[in-house]
Amino acid sequence: MTPKLMRVLRKLYKYQNAEYDAERRVSIYNEQILSDKERDILQEHQWQSNAITYFADHDDVIEKLRSLKNSPELTQERILTTFIAGVGGSYLRGRSVLSAWSKLNNIAVHTYLEKPEYRCCWVCADHNEPNYLHDSHLQYCLYVGNAYSSTPTYAYLNLAHLLTQPVVAATAEDKHAFLSLIDLLRNAPDDETPGQFEKRLTAAKIIKGDVYTKRGILDSLARLGVIPNQFITLSDRAWTNFGDIVSCENQLKNTKGRSDMEMPWAGWKGRLKVDEAQLQKVFGAYV
Ligand SMILES: [Zn+2]
């Protein structure tokens, strides 16, 4: 990914430039909006504007994701370095890899299980129906720095693309930004809420990007238990069911109906700071 290609993609993936394919339920983006020169840039980078991936059902998703297990390209070291490069901002796409990778490591084969509370699988949050997903647009969103790793479908598309890409290194500035973020959590006042922390993080100017891409970082660290929450213990090496995590939101007093703040990050409280043991376990080489 280069800044030049990113500029072309930003122009291409606009809502006004999409035509809805009702049969597959995806938006198709029209390259005609681009100049010849811009289309050449797509070609040069072998970027397919409308790559669509089909998932037959829930079990197909899980099988596809699990097929990436033990890929030699997806080492723990690479994932951590890529994530830190994402936090620091030298490689924004790195922000999404950590929680996707943790899903890959821990997800077990299981039967689709729906409970009345949520219209998706209680275990993994995915659905059990034929699904076409706009792979190219998702990759674009990941390159912008969004985390999008709430389902195995997203985790699969994320990592399947990542393993075709060159390995990146985290710069000294990236590592510094990561450590500054951890320090900011360590120094939290006991009664600080996630929303207040996000404001303090913005004011500290440690991390680039909008509130959503920053929140993706915090949510990823919370999913691995590095950032604790008040309700449920999470770990990088254990699976916790989607329904068991999300249903804790009922116990949250501080969201006041704000649906954009989700568990597990939404369940943090200043007094919980950072789980130092979990931080050492996951990021020991960096902290
Ligand atoms: Zn499931």
Find all residues with CB under 8 Å of 66, minimum gap 6, and list them: 104, 107, 109
Average of pLDDT values for 154-176? Answer: 97
- Quick check: is 123 in a domain? no
Domain boundary among 50, 70, 89: 50
143 alpha carbon to ligand 1 midpoint, in Å?
27
Where a domain ends, among 10, 26, 50?
A: 50
Structural domain includes residue 250: yes
In a domain, 39, yes or no: yes
State in Å: Cα 229 to ligand 1 middle.
23
Read off the pLDDT of residues 224-266 as tens digits, 9 standing for 90 and up: 999 999 999 999 999 999 999 999 988 886 555 556 789 999 9
**CA 2 to ligand 1 center in whole angstroms:** 36
pLDDT score for 250 = 87
> Ligand 1 center to residue 9 CA distance, Å?
32
Q: Do the beta carbons of residue 214 and residue 144 sit within 8 Å?
A: no
Of 253 and 70, the structure prediction assigns the larger pLDDT to: 70
Q: 88 in a domain, yes or no?
A: no
Q: What are the tens digits of pLDDT across the range 124-146?
A: 999 999 999 999 999 999 999 99
Residue at a domain's end among 35, 50, 65: 50
CA 59–ligand 1 middle distance (angstroms): 8
pLDDT tens per residue, range 80-115: 999 999 999 999 999 999 999 999 999 999 999 999
Please give the Cα distance from 106 to 215 (Å, whole number). Answer: 23
In a domain, residue 227? The reply is yes
- Separation of 256 CA from ligand 1 center, angstroms? 29
How close is the Cα of 273 to the center of ligand 1, in Å?
31
Alpha-carbon distance of 49 to 42, in angstroms, equals 8
Query: Cα(62) to centroid of ligand 1, in Å?
Result: 8
Q: What is the pLDDT of residues 10-55, one digit of tens each?
A: 999 999 999 999 999 999 999 999 999 999 999 999 999 999 999 9
Whether 210 is covered by a domain: the verdict is yes
Q: Quick check: 178 pLDDT over 60? A: yes
The number of domains in the chain is 2
Query: What's the rounded Cα separation, in Å, for the pair 128 and 115?
Result: 13
**Contact 93/169 with Cβ under 8 angstroms?**
no
* 145 in a structural domain: no
Q: What is the pLDDT of residues 57-66, one digit of tens each?
A: 999 999 999 9
Q: What pLDDT score does 255 carry?
A: 52
Q: Is residue 253 part of a domain?
A: yes
Say how many Å lie between the CA of residue 243 and the centre of ligand 1.
Answer: 10
Phi-psi region of 55 (alpha: psi -120 to 50; beta: other; left: phi over 0): beta
Structural domain of 274: 172-283
